[in-house]
Structure formats: structure tokens, C-alpha cells
Chains A and B, each alone.
Chain A
Amino acid sequence: MSKSQEQQAEADSSPSSSSSSSRSHPCPICLSPTPQLQESYLDRCFHKFCYKCIVQWTKVVASKYSEAPSSLKCPFCKTENFSIIHGYDGSSFERHYVSQIFSDSVFFTEAHRYRLQCYYTEPGFLSDAFDIKRFWKSRKYLQSNPWLYSWLKREIQALMQEEDVDVVAHHMLGTMESSLRRDDQRKLKAPEERQGEFKTLLRDAARPFLTGRTDRFVDETELFLASGLNLEAYDDVCMRRLGLKDAGVDSPEEPTNDSAVVPQSLFVSDEDPDGAE
């Protein structure tokens, strides 16, 4: 292990410890002292964890059942617990029931659920909806796509089932931007070559986080880029294909976090005339 890594580890542990008691009893999951605001306890055995850590673990346990379980074994002593006590301020506290934690994760919206569902359907159910070949041939990728970041963020959140994915999303965005808009002096690169290069780069960047879903993620992202649509419009096409939505009938959609709302009609016809063969 390198020196700098060690120093980083050192720095991680020293300043954040709020009290001496939390120092001697670090959270059994992250092994770090629990910050005061994160302090939480299981209702039966009163073992202490970071709220973030124990909720994450509850979700992992819950994901192994088809229905959300009502109790959680303490990771430390195996006592059955039914709720997590959190936010104790001397007089009041919040109580989160294990059975609810899986369903009330705020960030995981309907949109995330449907995206995750896409990864369970046959690949290629959308591939004839958009012209991927033309995307590469016409070099449309040279224009930056303003929705790409929101897209990446939502995909990664859905796949990792984790809310805080900004670092990962930025990392992938950086990789993609530099690959797509690298100004090649030897412009003669064939579109196929460009495409292959891009996909390899993105795959390498994504693999540590998405593991088994990586290849599919790369394909989905390529498809989204090729579509030239914003999130809403893309979802619309996609959900119709999946049969989640009737053609014609417009059900109100879950607004997606921070994507700009742009009139759909502007983008449906966004075809590059130069790209025509």
C-alpha cells in the first residue's frame, strides 16, 4: 500500500470523530466513528450503527426476499429487530420500521424502477427504434448532449440502487465526453472504429461499479445518445415498447430530477440531413 493511501486513511478517521464514546464503539459496518447526526440504534438490542450503513444493509437483506421482511437481524448480535431509532435529540426520535425501509427509499422513483426493468428485458427491444449506425456515421456525437448527465445519474442509481452516485456519474461523463469529442487529426477513422473505441472506454470506466450489468449499460447509453431525445421523450418511446404505457393515452409521468423539460416535438424530428446516405 502506498504512503499517500495510508495518509488518506489516517485523515479519514481522525477529524470526524464526534465524541470519545463513538470512537471506542465504531459502527460495525463501516468501522468508522458514527457522526452525531447519523447515530441510530436497533430497537431491541440497541446496537449502534450509522443510519446510512444500517439502512443500506437492510436494503441488501430485503432484496433477497420477494416481499419486504418485517424484521432485521442485528449484524452484530443476531437479535431480531423491527425498527431503527434515529435522530434522537434528547426528547424525540424518529422510528423507521424495517418493513418500510425498502419501499420508502425516496430517491428510487417509478422511473428508476422502469429503468431497472429495462435491464431485465431482452436486449435489442428498442434497437430498431433509433438509428445507431447513423449516429456514428453523421458524427452527431460531436454535439454535446445536455441530458447525458441526468441520464447517467438515473441509470447508475437504478443499477446500483444507491442515491449518492454523483462521483461515479461524473467519472463516466468525463470518460465519455473526452472520447466523443476528442478531436482526431487523422479524421479518417471509420465510424465503426469510433464506436468500438467509445464503447470499450465506457465499459472500462463502468465495470468496477456496474459489474455484470456493464455491457448492457453501455448499449443502453449508446441507444439513448443515438436517439437524440431528452429523458421524458426517450422514456415515452421506451415505455410504449415495453407495454408499460398505451400509445395515445398519456399518463402523468414522474418528473425526473433535474432534466430540462423541453418540448418533445423539437426532438422527434431531429435528424441530421447531412447524415443521409
Chain B
Amino acid sequence: MQTSRARLFKEYKEVQREKGADPDIQLVCDDSNIFKWTALIKGPSETPFEGGVFQLAFAIPEQYPLQPPQVRFLTKIFHPNVHFKTGEICLDILKNAWSPAWTLQSVCRAIIALMAHPEPDSPLNCDSGNLLRSGDVRGYQSMASMYTRLAAMPKKG
């Protein structure tokens, strides 16, 4: 408990110090609870998520960093490795490949990388995975960019 808190304070300070160093990621700690964070990440360029801003919710266990944080998308996203309803993310480093050397910031970076490089063979969103597995890249891209426009971009007017 004490260790996780101390470590999260370090990360908090680092985030404050490095504010704006990575324009694609904005990490914010909950005002009253250091075990709850949210992040805004920009969809990577040259992907159907370009131009979108996606919100992630972090719930950090007491045993952090010996156990990984729980992360999910709050913004709807059409991606083979993200559950369409719950926002749950299938990413090895958040499960059995976790290492305590990861930080919340670097987890965000890993998620951005996952957005650009989907793994259709371990899908949480089968529709999305099947499009890619059947080779329908155009179909996947148009679905994904439609949802990006619907859910991850500011409404016009």
C-alpha cells in the first residue's frame, strides 16, 4: 500500500514535470484518489483513429507496481483488441507480460502503439478482428474511422 502510493507520487511528479513533453498523451490523477487516473490520448496518424481523442480510465491496484494497472477505454473505439461495450483492452503487458518497470505514461504509449498495430488474432471485438483477418482492410478502416468520427471527435455545431 505504502509502496504503491510512494511510487504513484513519483509518477505524478514526473507527469507534472514533463507536462507537454509528449503531446499525444495527457495523464491526469483524480483529485481525491491517487489510485484513479484518466488519460487522454490522440489517435496515431495514418490510422483510422487519426484526429480522434480517446479517454482511458486507470484503476491501480494496491500491489502496484507488482501488479499491472487496470486500463479501459471510456471512449468508444472500433478495434480488434478493445471490447466494444466495456472498453476492456487485450494487451499482453497489462496481463502476464507486465513488468514493474512500466509506468502509466509508458502504458499509454503502448496503447497508442496497439491502436496503430492491431492484433486480429486475439480479438476482443470479433467483428473488427474478422474484417482484418479476412483481409478487408478497407472495411476495417472505414468502420474504425466512422466510430472515431462519431465518438472521439468534438461534435460540430
Contact = CB atoms under 8 A, between A and B. Distances in A.
Interface of A: 1, 5-6, 8-10, 12-13, 26, 28-32, 53, 56-57, 60, 73, 75-76, 78, 167-168, 208-209, 211
A174 to B, nearest CB: 16
B31 interface: yes
B110 to A, nearest CB: 14
A209 B10 contact: no
Nearest to B2: A167
B87 to A, nearest CB: 23
Given A29-B65, A209-B62, A13 B100 contact: no
A163 B114 CA distance: 39
B147 to A, nearest CB: 34
B66 A56 contact: yes
- List of 4 A-B pairs having minimum Cβ-Cβ separation, nearest first: A9-B9, A28-B101, A31-B10, A75-B99
B10 A32 contact: yes
Interface in B44-80: 62, 65-67
Contacts of A28: 100-101
A211 B64 CA distance: 14
B13 interface: yes
Given A1-B31, A208-B62, A30 B7 contact: yes
Contacts of B21: none
Contacts of B29: 1
Contacts of B9: 5-6, 8-9, 12
A238 to B, nearest CB: 28
A9 B10 contact: yes
A9 B103 CA distance: 17
Contact of B6 (A1, A30, A76, A78): A30
22 contacts: A1-B34, A5-B34, A9-B9, A10-B13, A13-B10, A28-B101, A29-B7, A29-B65, A31-B7, A31-B14, A31-B103, A32-B6, A32-B7, A32-B10, A53-B100, A60-B66, A60-B67, A73-B99, A76-B99, A167-B2, A208-B1, A208-B62
A211 B10 CA distance: 25
B122 interface: no
Contact of B100 (A1, A6, A29, A211): A29
Contacts of B14: 31
A10 B16 CA distance: 13
A75 B101 CA distance: 6
B11 A31 contact: yes
Nearest to A13: B10
Contacts of A5: 9, 34
Given A5-B9, A31-B10, A31-B103, 12 more contacts: A12-B6, A30-B6, A30-B7, A30-B10, A31-B7, A31-B14, A32-B7, A56-B66, A60-B66, A60-B67, A75-B99, A208-B62
A57 B6 contact: no
Contacts of A211: 62
B18 to A, nearest CB: 13
A57 to B, nearest CB: 6
A32 B100 CA distance: 13
Contacts of A60: 66-67
Contacts of A13: 10, 13
B142 interface: no
